Amino acid sequence: MIQEGTAQSPVSPALTRSMLRTLGLVATLSGLLVVLSYRITLPIIEENKRLAIERALFKVIPGAISRQDFMITDRGIELAQSDLQGTALYAGYGQDGRLKGVALEAAAAGYQDVIRILYGYDPYCQCIRGIEVLKMAETPGIGDKIAKDPVFQENFTALEARANATGDGLERAIVLVKQGEKSEAWQIDAISGATISSKAIARMLNDSAQRYVPLIQNNLAVMEPAS
Amino acid sequence: MPGRPEQHEPVTLDTFLRGLWEENPVFVMLLGMCPVLAVTNSAINALAMGLASTFVLVASNSLVSLLRHYIPKQVRIATYIIIIATFVTMVDYAIQAISLDLYNALGAFIQLIVVNCMILGRAEAYASKQPLGATVVNGLGIGAGFTLALLSLGVVREVLGSGSLFGVSLFGENFQPWVVMILPPGGFFVLGTWLLIFAAFRLRKQRRTELGEVAQHER
């Protein structure tokens, strides 16, 4: 803007000073206001995010009332610490303090954008107990049924995800079948009309479970309470 | 209101009402169409977007009005944009603090309030020439007009497209929602219908005034 002004007409030093003064003042004021509102809202936003995760967590691990954060690292599963690098894993504990299940994030490309979900895994029945969509941009009324459709959600009350004997994957992969053709515990009934979104869910669950379920089974002792 | 430089008009009820009807930013001036079409798929989104835009409009235009004698005209647009962007960032944080669900639903459109030409247009055409009081009242009027327009789209689209209003189901289980209404084409359909209704009203009023003038002449 300043250069444009210069090109059009000769700018007096007084005008330059006044432009600098105005822009400087406005920019300073703007910085102050932004920092102020950031500082004020930061704790509330953090709290909101924590609540959102917990709400999703307690939904995908039935019966859980408290949680503990862990990390999947190269060495196995460890208590979450700020300097640890790895995948977050949330363990949920029931009323009696026993481990009810663990929750993990999974993601895959959907119809419009990446779909991110949180899913709950129950290490005792070796099955997936629930999914909760965290972020998606699927078509309203069609693809977004993956989040709300009760029939589709029914797939995830006890979806088998059993670790194989060698401990490097699942005994039977999680697969998607056409609507109404689910006959085995490791199959997911697709939503007709929303095949791509359903496929994305099946793919991300399978990928994530193939990788992490054996690991979780081998490290259960870490997450079980000491008592 | 171009062509009225530094001629202060008195603040009347009309200063406010003009924004609602005669100069409605959406139905008459056709400004800010991007959020109008994009986030009106439910009434609550429309209301939140309208209120957020109103806040940015009133706050930024107040500041522009206060600083109007100190802003050199060569850098005025840059200054307005900084001021608007500041308040948009504040609204962005505020909405995140109020409700994450709402924040996710509105998506990138909160940040895009910065380039809503309704706000920049008001700053250039009104706030830079009028004192604080008039600017605030006019801004509130325009903001209310914008919110009203968004709501009138959001309500229609939500009722037809999801069978609910403000998230409350209206028609029970057996209602088959008209899904296209909450998809982008629905935005155009509903906006077009509203524009048609508004144009019809204006035309009728115009014709009536003309008839009235003719009648007066003949008398």
Question: Taking a C-beta distance cutoff of 8 angstroms, is the pair A188, A177 a contact?
Answer: yes
Within 10 angstroms of residue A145's Cβ, the number of other Cβ atoms is 20
Does residue B121 belong to any structural domain of this protein? yes
Chain B residues within 8 A of A21 when measuring between CB atoms: 70
Task: State whether the Cα torsion B126-B147-A33-B82 is positive or negative.
Answer: negative
**Residue B72: left if φ>0, alpha if ψ -120 to 50, beta else—which one?**
beta
- The pair of structure tokens assigned to A13 is 């030093």
Inside any domain, residue B174: no
In a domain, B172, yes or no: no
Question: Which of B56, B75, B82, B84 is the best residue to mutate to test the A interface, defined by the most A CB atoms within 10 Å of its own CB?
Answer: B75
- Which residues of A are less than 8 Å from B85 in CB distance? 30
Q: Do B70 and A18 touch (CB under 8 A)?
A: yes
Cβ–Cβ below 8 Å for B83 and A26 = yes
Q: Do B179 and A142 touch (CB under 8 A)?
A: yes
Report the sign of the C-alpha dihedral through residues B47, B50, B54, B55, in that order.
positive
Pairing of strands A175-177, A187-189: parallel
Report the half-sphere exposure of B207 (CA within 13 A, side-chain side). 6
- Which residue, chain included where needed, has tokens 């709290």? A47
CB A222 within 8 Å of CB A70:
yes
Beta carbons of A27 and B82 less than 8 Å apart: yes
CB A176 within 8 A of CB A190: yes
CB contact under 8 A, A26 and B82: yes
CA distance A88 to chain B (A): 21
Please report the sign of the dihedral spanned by the C-alpha atoms of residue A35, residue A36, residue A37, residue A43.
positive
User: Which of A1, A11, A23, A26 has the most B C-beta neighbours within 10 Å, making it the best mutation to test the interface with B?
Assistant: A26
- CA dist A190 and A176 (Å) reads 6
Q: How many CA atoms lie within 13 A of A143 on its CB side?
A: 20
pLDDT at B67 over 80: yes
- Tokens representing A149 are 């459709």
User: Which member of B82, B96, B182 has the closest CB to residue A45?
Assistant: B96
Closest by CA to B118, choosing from B25, B214, B184, is: B25
**What pLDDT does residue A72 have?**
85
Predicted local confidence at residue A50, as pLDDT = 84
Nearest CA in chain B to A32: B86
Q: Cβ separation of A1 and B77 shorter than 8 Å?
A: yes
Burial class for B209, CB neighbours closer than 10 Å (0-12, 13-18, 19+): exposed
Place of tokens 């522009």: B64
Please check whether residue B159 lies inside any domain of the structure. Answer: yes
Q: What is the DSSP string of A120-171?
A: EEETTTTEEEEEEEEE--PPTTTTTHHHH-HHHHGGGSSEE--B-TTSSSBS
Residue range B41-62, pLDDT digits in tens = 889 989 999 999 999 999 999 9
pLDDT at B4 over 50: no
Question: What pLDDT, in 10s, does the model give residues B106-162?
Answer: 877 888 888 888 899 889 888 888 899 999 999 999 999 999 999 999 999 999 888
Specify the DSSP class assigned to residue B8.
P
> Would B173 be classed as within a structural domain?
no
pTM here is: 0.77
Provide the number of CB pairs (under 8 Å) joining chain A to chain B: 80
Q: Are A99 and A66 in contact, with CB atoms under 8 Å apart?
A: no
What pLDDT score was predicted for residue A81? 77
pLDDT band at residue B178 using 50, 70 and 90 as cut-offs:
confident
Give the pLDDT of residue A201.
92
For B67, which residue in chain A has the nearest alpha carbon?
A22
For residue B145, the enclosing domain spans 13-165+179-218
Give the span between the Cα atoms of A182 and B76, in whole angstroms. 64
pLDDT of residue A9: 59
Closest residue by Cα to residue A135 from A45, A50, A53, A194: A53
Which stretches of chain A score pLDDT less than 70?
A: 1-10, 226-227
Residue B3 has pLDDT above 80, yes or no: no
B161/A26 Cβ within 8 A: no
Q: Predicted confidence band at B1 (pLDDT cuts at 50, 70, 90)?
A: very low
The tokens 């007009």 sit on which residue? Answer: B145
Count of domains for chain B:
1
Cβ separation A15–B94 shorter than 8 A:
no
Helix axes B132-162, B43-66, angle to 10 degrees: 170
Contact at CB, A141 and B96, closer than 8 angstroms: no
pLDDT, residue A5, reads 47
Q: What is the pLDDT of residues B68-113, one digit of tens each?
A: 888 888 888 999 999 999 999 999 999 999 988 888 888 778 888 8
CB contact under 8 A, B67 and A45: no
pLDDT at residue number A40: 94
With an 8 Å Cβ cutoff, the interface of chain B facing chain A consists of 41, 67, 70-72, 74-75, 77-79, 82-83, 85-87, 89-90, 93-94, 96-97, 99-100, 104, 161-162, 177, 179, 182-183
Q: Which residues contact B11 (CB under 8 A, 6 or more apart)?
A: B133, B134, B137
Share of chain A above pLDDT 70, in %: 95
E strands in chain A:
66-73, 76-79, 87-93, 99-109, 114-122, 127-135, 159-160, 175-177, 187-189
Does residue B46 form part of some domain? yes
Contacts of B113 (CB under 8 A, 6+ apart): B35, B52, B53, B56, B84, B88, B91, B119
**Contact between A37 and B93 using a beta-carbon 8 Å cutoff:** yes
